Amino acid sequence: MHIAVLTIFPAMFDLFWEHGIVRRAVAGGLVQPQAVDIRAFTRDRHQVTDDRPYGGGCGMVMKPEPLARAIESVRDQFNDGGFTVLMTPRGDQLSQQTAAGLARQQGLIFICGRYEGVDARIVHRHVDYELSIGDYVLSGGELAAMVAMDAVIRLIPGVLGGAQSAQRDSFSDGLLEHEHYTRPRVFEGDAVPEILLSGDHQAIERWRRKMSLIETLMRRPDLLENRALDERETEILRQWSQMLERVLKHQAAHRPDSLPGRQ
Ligand code: SAM
């Protein structure tokens, strides 16, 4: 997959391409990355990429012409044009599903904003999708684009080996992942669950599925609302909700103010 990132700070990406799974994807030819300097598409002596906002107000806005030229230039190099994603806090929030959708594209072009953001006409005329990485504001789109690219690249077929299959990751089947343990067997008095030492792979798999479900129930019950549960999962959740109900009843009955003689 061709991935181009349009930025006024291309050097920020040098380290990104050179480490871990991203590096492996690049070295294996599965990703052809490119950090494109927007300044190279300016036509003035000072290579200006921003200007004051119409209507006044503080901050600067990224000028449309250099950005449009940069996008066109990259699209010309990509055979299929490239799906163009603007990083912006106003966009759809990144999720595992969004990342999987982007991983199916032939080519991706990420635009990193700076200052107050980019001129709206770039969004109207050149952007296919607006993407946010969360409800907070960064100083620029570079880190946001790295987050999105990392999530996308690991989902490109062939990037992860079997041992690191993305299918087991949190969110891929609507659940959080179970806990992991490695040696030593006992750490600071805390022992690895016995089942993981049993060698019974089916029982281990059942335990992992159960822990996944319980983690999700305890931490992110919202994820379970729209997920189809099979019979076994329904039974596990039923047992857990009964247990939770008993604990809550017990706690309510033993609250200090519910004991006789106490206020
Ligand atoms: N004035 C903008 C606003 O209030 O929505 C924020 C601009 S921000 C200082 C500069 C650039 O950082 C944005 O154009 C965008 O590219 C990037 N950025 C900041 N926060 C982001 C987020 N949560 N997700 C994606 N990109 C973000």
80-98 pLDDT per residue, tens: 689 999 999 999 999 999 9
| Domains by residue range for the chain, with CATH | 2-153 (3.40.1280.10), 186-256 (1.10.1270.20)
Which atom of ligand 1 has the smallest separation from the CA of 118? 14
Answer positive or negative: Cα dihedral of 186, 188, 190, 196. negative
The single-letter code of the amino acid at 82 is G
d(CA 231, CA 67): 53
- On whether the CB atoms of residues 22 and 16 are closer than 8 A, the answer is yes
- Would you call 24 a catalytic residue per the annotation? no
Measure the N-to-C terminal CA separation of the chain; round to a whole number of Å. 68
Q: What is the pLDDT of residue 173?
A: 87
CA 100 / ligand 1 centre spacing (Å): 23
d(CA 118, CA 34): 21
**Single pTM value for the model:** 0.92
d(CA 237, CA 215): 11
- Would you call 256 a catalytic residue per the annotation? no
Q: What is the pLDDT of residue 164?
A: 58
- Would you call 154 a catalytic residue per the annotation? yes
Answer positive or negative: Cα dihedral of 188, 193, 198, 204. negative
- Which of 150 and 170 is assigned the larger pLDDT? 150
Answer positive or negative: Cα dihedral of 37, 31, 3, 106. positive
Q: What is the pLDDT of residue 262?
A: 62
42-55 pLDDT per residue, tens: 999 999 999 999 99
pLDDT at 108 over 80: yes
Answer whether 133 contacts ligand 1 (Cβ < 6 A): yes
